[in-house]
Amino acid sequence: MTTQQLCLPTVYLNGNFLPIEEAKISPLDRGFIFGDGVYEVIPFYAGRGLRMREHLRRLQRSMNELAIENPYAIEHWESTITALIERNGGGNVGVYIQVTRGVAKRDFPPPKGLTQTVFMMVNPLATPKPEIYAKGISCISLDDNRWLKCHIKSVALLGAVLLKHESNQGGFDEAVLFRDGYLTESSASNIAAVKSGIILCPPMDNLILPGITYELMIELARKNSMPLEIRRVARKEVKKADELWIMSSTKEVAPIVLLDDKPIGTGQPGPVFKQMYQHFQDYKRSLSAVSAAAE
């Protein structure tokens, strides 16, 4: 694989913009040794961030959970991200940010006073192709065997990697995860169900990542008077749902039409999904209109 395919050419590492080939990190970095770090993925459309502030606030919360000091003020994050996108030619991109505790002798207790490692790269935003929104995706139910701090956007993602791998090995696009008989989320996305016109949303507790797209979807539903309940959703309710949606910064909101080879509802993207999809696209358009007016 060439580095061109790994990410767009210019990355950011510890204060410098440089070609990806020149970006070097110590093997003793605690991110490499222990997965001791956090990350974010922020979508940009035509150079305009979708909820960048919210992503940066979540990054702060993740760092708080790990007692890693945030090396930058929010304005510094924003200007550095903007500069990195510009250096890579703008467009529709996903910005990946990673902050680790830093480099130290390998020892479990986190030492104090390390210098955090800050890495950022930019990738073309691979939102689903139109046929995904038109036809939907197929998923498998799996037991959520990740740790109990899924609200932290930690780089220690082996649980999610193995679940995603298992779903792909079985010929499915994604996994729908259940813990103790209740819906949690997917390996790298949130999930909501729809029954009798009501959007059913698992609560944002320690068992799921509080997705920025998920929060936006809830906000759009409320703004547009779409009935919604935030509560635990049992496995049998999921199986009998009329619709099932998957959401993330890279997937936006997409319909799941098959679960364990059985149709969800009619086996087609449902009417509530179509309404939400429209609100989401309108929101994206309003973003560029607001930014354009401010320029």
- Name the residue nearer to ligand PDD (CB basis): 126 or 289: 126
Contact pick of 209, 233, 238, 241 for ligand PDD (by CB under 6 A): 209
Our finding on whether 188 is near ligand PDD (CB under 6 A) is yes
- Nearest residue (CB) to ligand PDD, 94 versus 270: 94
Interaction between residue 29 and ligand PDD (CB under 6 A): no
Tell me whether residue 127 or residue 249 sits nearer to ligand PDD (CB atom).
249
Instruction: Name 246's bridge partners.
Output: 191, 254
Residue 219 to residue 185: CA distance in whole angstroms:
19
Min dist CB 58 to ligand PDD, Å, is: 7
Among 185, 192, 193, 245, binds ligand PDD (CB under 6 A): 185
**Shortest distance, position 96 Cβ to ligand PDD, whole Å:** 8
Binding positions for ligand PDD, 243-262, rule CB under 6 A: 247-250
Residue choice 98, 116, 117, 190 for contact with ligand PDD (CB under 6 A): 190
Check the CA dihedral 243-249-252-258 and report its sign: negative
Is 194 a binder of ligand PDD (CB under 6 A)?
A: no
> 71: which residues sit within 8 A by CB, 6+ positions away?
99, 115, 116, 118
Q: Is 154 in the site for ligand PDD (CB under 6 A)?
A: no
x/- contact string, 210-249, with ligand PDD (CB under 6 A)?
A: -xxxx--------------------------------xxx
Q: Nearest distance from residue 81's CB to ligand PDD, in Å?
A: 15
Amino acid at 175: A
Tokens of residue 32, six digits: 């490499």
Q: Which is nearer to ligand PDD, 84 or 246 (CB)?
A: 246
Pull the structure tokens for residue 168. 């792909």
Burial 208-237 (b: 16+ CB within 10 A, else e): bbbbbbbbbbbebbeeeebebeeebbeeee
> DSSP label at 22?
G
- As given in the structure block, the two tokens for residue 53 are 């502030």
| Number of residues in contact with ligand PDD under rule CB under 6 A | 14
Q: Where are the beta strands (DSSP E) in the chain?
A: 10-13, 16-19, 37-45, 48-49, 93-100, 117-124, 137-143, 174-179, 182-183, 190-195, 198-201, 228-230, 243-248, 252-259, 262-263
Catalytically annotated residues: 153
Tokens of 102: 């830093």
Distance of closest approach, residue 110 Cβ to ligand PDD, in angstroms: 23
Half-sphere exposure of 216 (CA within 13 A, CB side): 23
Smallest separation (angstroms) from ligand PDD to the CB of 185:
5
Comparing CB distances to ligand PDD, the nearer of 51 and 104 is 51
- Of the residues 18, 20, 25, 41, which one makes contact with ligand PDD according to CB under 6 A: 41
Which residue, 60 or 268, is less far from ligand PDD as judged by CB?
A: 60
**Cβ 124 vs Cβ 8: under 8 Å:** yes
Binding site for ligand PDD (CB under 6 A): 41, 185, 188-190, 209, 211-214, 247-250
